[in-house]
Amino acid sequence: MDTILIVDDEDLFRNRLQRAFESRGFTVYSAANYDEAITIIREDRPKLAVVDMKMPGKSGLELIRDALLIDPELKMVVLTGYGSIATAADAVKLGAIFYLPKPADVGDILNAFSRNPEVEIDNQPDDFMAPSLARTEWEHINRVLTDCGGNISETAKRLGIHRRTLQRKLYKYPPDK
């Protein structure tokens, strides 16, 4: 079974990726920062890693460098919402297989890994179910809310909806699928 480490400081995004990889048969390890990721790499030796470029503390570039010193066989794809050509070049020079801008979905990530002939991945899920529109909306609202530091008024402004409408949506439980 394939093993993958997901390193991202955004809980909602990391958890969404974790569920998606698990549904495709991966054993998934998850970390919110450099220190957690290094511990997992030392102890569990995942085959693959998806690394966020910008995190509190040490960056994804530092993680790539140090992770490959621990396990030179680890294959990594870098994700970032703050993309630049220079950073992409640095990530690849340090040993990343590929560089993707956020938001990237599981298909994009698996395609990036499959660009490397040393990585064999079955990229076709047997029974992949796309999330419902309600679930996607709920996740997007929560991501924007997180970006706004929990400020309801600012979140409503960015989403272009009334504050009370946003509050009603937030009080609902997340859709199952």
Confidence of residue 86 (pLDDT cuts 50, 70, 90): low
Does domain 3-114 correspond to CATH entry 3.40.50.2300? yes
Question: Running DSSP on this structure, what letter comes out for residue 125?
Answer: -
> Which residues have CB under 8 Å from 85's CB, separation 6+?
none
DSSP 126-163: SS--PPPHHHHHHHHHHHHHHHTTT-HHHHHHHHTS-H
| pLDDT above 90 (res 76) | yes
| Fold that domain 133-171 belongs to in CATH | Arc Repressor Mutant, subunit A (1.10.10)
Query: Which tens digits make up the pLDDT trace of 13-39?
Result: 899 999 999 999 999 999 999 999 999
Whether residue 90 contacts residue 111, with contact meaning beta carbons closer than 8 Å, is answered with no
Residue ranges matching CATH 3.40.50.2300 in the chain: 3-114
* Backbone angle region of 98, left / alpha / beta, with phi > 0 → left and psi within -120 to 50 → alpha: beta
Residue ranges matching CATH 1.10.10.60 in the chain: 133-171
Tokens (6 digits) for 73: 């066989």
Query: How many whole angstroms separate alpha carbon 141 and alpha carbon 155?
Result: 8
Tokens (6 digits) for 100: 């993707």
Bridge partner residues of 78 (DSSP): 51, 99
* Predicted pLDDT at 174: 67
| pLDDT above 60 (res 95) | yes
| pLDDT above 70 (res 71) | yes
